Amino acid sequence: MIEIEEKSERALLVGVETFENAATFASTFEELASLALTAGAEVVAMATQKLAQPNARTFVGSGKLEELIMTVDSREIDTVIFNARLSPRQNVALEDALGVKVIDRMQLILDIFAMRARSQEGMLQVEQAQLTYLKPRLTGRGVALSRQAGGIGSKGPGESKLEIDRRHIEGRIEDIEKKLKKIEKSRDLARKKRLNSGIFKIGLIGYTNAGKSSILNALVDAKQKQYEKNELFATLDATTKVIRLKDEFSVSLTDTVGFIQDLPTELIKAFKSTLEESANVDLLVHVVDASNPHHAAHEQTVLQLLQELEMDKIPQLVIYNKMDKAPVDFAYTITPAVELSIKSENGPMVFRQAILSELDQLFVKFECELPYSLAYKLPELKQIALVDNLVEGETGYQISGRIAPSLAWKLKEY
């Protein structure tokens, strides 16, 4: 019997530092290595070059290209991964010159999203983004068609193989669009229901690997846990859990996909509806990995994407996580901010406190009387509002406390 061992692809990473990307080059190149590992590649070599601007045809200069050809040969490279967005023409020219599969940063990110997608909607969204990205790249391909043999750059959603047949691609994209519209409609209904549930909604956002899922997990009980891992894009689908902050007072916490530098616009578009799950919140908690030396660049990326998604008007609380691993002279860039390690013993308590004091700023005071005939509404009230004082009066409960302005209308029911 012949045993076929699944060998990981041997990858060569290539980056070109230009005037334009000089500020973020080091951090994104480092990140490319993590992305490649996450996608299942073995990084065997790296090459960088400084150019005023990339070569229009081959991206790197001709001398560098010769060097890459030699590296591919001597180090038995299967895949060359560029830390940039290659034009379809450059992609084809590079594959012709190098004789192996060439993918760019966008395709790598798309690939990881494909691996991670679990829900029907997530899978359709990724496939749509992949096909949109690949469509102009299919013409004039030589080696590239062997990509259909599998490997990085050809993973379809849900661990299937991506079908990239030039003749059917257009129809498939349309088909996906129709299906997504249908799903979105039913999701809208579910969302409206949630909106009426009257609970205060918090969205966890932040750079990939910042610790968003870890925070959610630290606050819910064991059987509700989310997938958390030291990998990029561990989470893809939005998950919402209701957590108790103080006494019965509860909020919903939504964990969603992480952000990254150069997130392909095709992906942002495709994931807009998933991200809208977080756009419909009362407060955004922006989680930052304080132990990452590039955290300032990560913050900028997140703020910029929030702007693009028109989520920058939502109140935002910044939380610096992983303080246990942060350098001793750590200084945060956004103020005011909260520092914690969600993995430490008091992490969850610090988080709860931070949210509560933020709510102090956002909530309005109220006083009301709940008639005894409506006593059955008391648990609900305690869940959606912070009750500071409750006395049993002549005709009903005299209650004072604080509540979100958006939920104050609920009190009128009493």
Q: Which positions touch Mg ion (CB under 5 A)?
A: 212-213, 234-235
17-25: long-range pairs with CB below 8 Å, 24+: 17/48, 17/49, 17/50, 17/51, 18/50, 18/51, 18/52, 18/53, 18/54, 19/52, 19/53, 20/53, 23/297, 24/261, 24/297
**Cβ proximity to ligand GTP, 164 vs 218, nearer residue:** 218
Number of residues that bind ligand GTP (CB under 6 A): 23
Name the segment binding ligand GTP (CB under 6 A); options: 45-53, 151-159, 202-210, 292-300. Answer: 202-210
Query: What is the closest distance, in whole angstroms, from the C-beta atom of residue 118 to Mg ion in the complex?
Result: 13
- Binding mask 320-339 toward ligand GTP (x if CB under 6 A, else -) reads -xx-xx--------------
Least Å from the CB of residue 32 to ligand GTP: 16
Contact indicator for 207, 288 with CB cutoff of 8 Å: yes
Distance between CA 29 and CA 15 in Å, rounded? 7
Amino acid at the residue 396: G
Q: Is 209 in the site for ligand GTP (CB under 6 A)?
A: yes
Please report how close the Cβ of residue 61 comes to ligand GTP at its closest, in angstroms.
35
* Residue closest to 72 by CA, chosen among 10, 162, 118: 10
Q: How far apart (Å, rounded) are the C-alpha atoms in residues 297 and 24?
A: 7
Nearer to ligand GTP, 227 or 414 (CB): 227
Residue 411: how many other CB atoms lie within 10 Å: 17
Window of 69-77, 78-86, 207-215, 305-313 that interacts with ligand GTP by CB under 6 A = 207-215
Residue 299 touches ligand GTP, criterion: CB under 6 A: no
Residue 232 binding result from ligand GTP, Mg ion, none, given CB thresholds of 5 to 8 Å by partner type: ligand GTP
Q: What six digits make up the tokens of 385?
A: 């509002």
Closest CA to 260 of 220, 207, 297, 308: 207
**b/e for 120-146, b at 16 or more Cβ within 10 A?**
ebbbbbbbbbbbbbbeebbeebeebee
Nearer to ligand GTP, 78 or 255 (CB): 255
Return the residue of 200, 233, 271, 351 that touches ligand GTP, per CB under 6 A.
233
CB of 254: closest distance to ligand GTP in angstroms? 12
Binding mask 254-273 for ligand GTP (x = CB under 6 A): ----x---------------
* Cβ at position 237, least distance to Mg ion in Å: 10
- In DSSP terms, 321 is beta-bridged to 289
Residue 190: count other Cβ atoms within 10 Å of its Cβ: 9
Q: Which residues bind ligand GTP (CB under 6 A)?
A: 206, 208-214, 228-230, 232-235, 258, 321-322, 324-325, 341-343
